[in-house]
Structure 1
């Protein structure tokens, strides 16, 4: 056993578990499934990983920008409302018509005149309120007495402006952050402003105006895209408004809260400042922010799962496309052992159909080879019979010829002694064991045969044998030169005739044996009869079996690669050519022939 075979045996599984593992690893089906799955999963994983880092960053920036834009929108809405309240307060200032009526009301001692002035102020306030739908409560407030006068809606008693959360103070204006309305007929949170006015001989007086509660609701609740809490921090950094008072109480220092409680509370803080110095802060829970920033991830996962499902479908389709034709072809190949030769159906795939066509050719080739083997076996049996016809009781013939040779030698018949010795040597060679012999042995036997035929025939002929020294040791089928020379004598024997035997290389791997006579030649019908293996034409022509023996012998040992050619022209002789392939090692060819 060679090393390669030992290696293959060493790799074979020895237990049931190893057998299962071996079949799983070396199965085309399993390898195809694994390769197709990896070819689908690896791109998804690579694309998903790359997308996660890039898209997550883009999505986070998108969420941050959306939050910042929303804050800017809130801050702008609050600023616009405060600006509108400031504009309304200017209309109620003492420098205008309303201010003159208030002055008359505050300084005139005539009750009728005071009543007229008061009616004028109320009418003016109601008119301004009707033309500004976002404005709710408007009134004048006297700080020393904590009294409200000229309010368009009833104000809550015992409420001081000092208790309201201040956003910013500038140019005599005070801006208050979202706080509960002072309008006793309403509820909710509002924005408000106060403007200081001077009324002669009476303490500090202020104009107080607040917005509708819907203003705050519209501004702070327009955040449907995310759950968040708002803080409004005044210009001094104190929290003026808080939607999360449990962690960020009103009145506390936001700067301190920001550095300490944001991380503890798991909040992200975003802020947007105003021109007046106050700031709107948006508090977003970390989980909410991460959920929003990763909202795409679920879509990517859904897309990946869908892609993987489609890939698995393609894996199954490819598997059926490849495996089913292979299964059919495999069954057809296995059927050869049972001599059934199942014909696989065509698959409509060029590659597999080409393989099926090759299998068809192989099937017909195998059938042809099987028939050829049967025919060769028959020919071999017939050849053995014909060979036996040429070997009639060899021991009896040898013993009889030895007796004749000794009698001739005793009686001094040297010619007969030589003739019998030559004949005995020739018969011993022709009837020897083995189906091959060297060309040198064949030439020696041929010379003995020619010597005997020279004594036998009553006409003179010459036989010239020319063989290259390089071919003398080559093995060829035994007893093939003598039948060819015998055929030449039969068809071309005449006085002073010449038979030429040429043995040499026609090419690097093709041996040529050529027998040429100078006789009268033979007809085409005779040539066909000589080459007819059925024997019918040969028997009709009365011909021997020598050429047929040579033909069958070379076909048996060399197959269709060997050739026997006969060329003849009437009146100019005949040439028989043997072409024997020498493309195998001589010892292997010799071993095959002896079998």
Structure 2
């Protein structure tokens, strides 16, 4: 893995792992707290609702007992029904109504109260007007016992009320009458208020089940309609059904109260927490990645500086890539300064080695020069020249004169810069010696642009190139052409011959040899000398190309930096 990937991975892990661990623990904690809080609140509320309903039902039972035969009003009802005298019935009627008003006054939650005759459907002694639609069969039965039935929440049968009430129907049990019942309603408002306080979510609802598990009252009619039976809720106290969390509390009388909470409302707080944790996780992740990227940038900037310095070094440049470049971090600054100091030391070592090598080469040449005493040699050749002239030996005179000129030029002052013109004059003397020395004739044509004759060049670079033409396949009727011409900002020197050509292996050996004794020709300096001299003098700006084909001759091209001028060719025949 790259350093960048490792930094990103480490920062992300170090940031997210503690956060995820904390989130996991807090999630379990909030889930436990939420479930405990909700469960405790729901169970408490259900107990309050159950207690309220039980109190209401107990009150209905108590009031209905007073109106039954065993109660005080029940006996007066029997006397009223047995009374035949109109006056007596009026007096009994007033007495019963007085008793009923007293009971309803002392029980403010009691609403409509009346005696009901099941066979005729008539009512008697009602404390308020009864609706014409009064029908006990349509009321939701909550619980039924031997002599009494309780009805779940329903709209009051009182003409003047549209409130939900609980009601009870008790048989009066008069000896002579079997179809008389007392019907009593009790207000449901207190229970409704308790149900309203149980609203954990805005879509929460409640069910009231009878002792057979059938819904007698429902606040969620679309999902749990009345008269629907829920057998799975009969024995369980809580669970999940049809997208609702439910809890049930069962009274001693067998009926049950059930709370319904939609799953979305039940998990609202936990979902909100998850949303917040998701946002925090994204924030922490972004911060982690940002910090990792910042750290990477802090490290990458110095690394890029080091890379630039190393690349600069591989390009054989030992100066700093950018003197003003800074890593901006003290530790990296120190390493970068040390690296640049190392580069400077390496550059000094290379320069020192180059100076020593150059000095060694110069010393070798000086040694060669001093082995041959130029003044003694020149004076001796000059003496031979005059002897040849005095004795009429023109050929010897020509030979000695050319040799004298050639030695004078080649054994000149060490390191002295020559010109193209001087190189051409030295080349003519060399060619004259070669023509006298060998028993075959060859033509040499020199074409030189006069504007280039004063162009400075290293000493002794043309003779080795012409030597190659003479010693590699040139025969009778051979031809050598030397052309000097400008080419843009370069001086181009081309030496062409029509000899046998040079094989590829020999051509490569000529360019790469290191002055082996058996390869030396002429003055003993090979073609490799020319190549090395150009590299040392022009620092890579000069070009030496050799092109040879078997049977078609060889072409050597030198391209040297120069200053431009007018062209004017000179043609010299040395053959």
Instruction: Give the TM-score normalised by the residue count of structure 2.
Output: 0.50
**Counting helix residues as a fraction of each chain, which structure ranks higher?**
1
Specify which structure has the bigger relative contact order, considering alpha-carbon pairs within 8 angstroms and separated by 6 or more residues.
Answer: 2
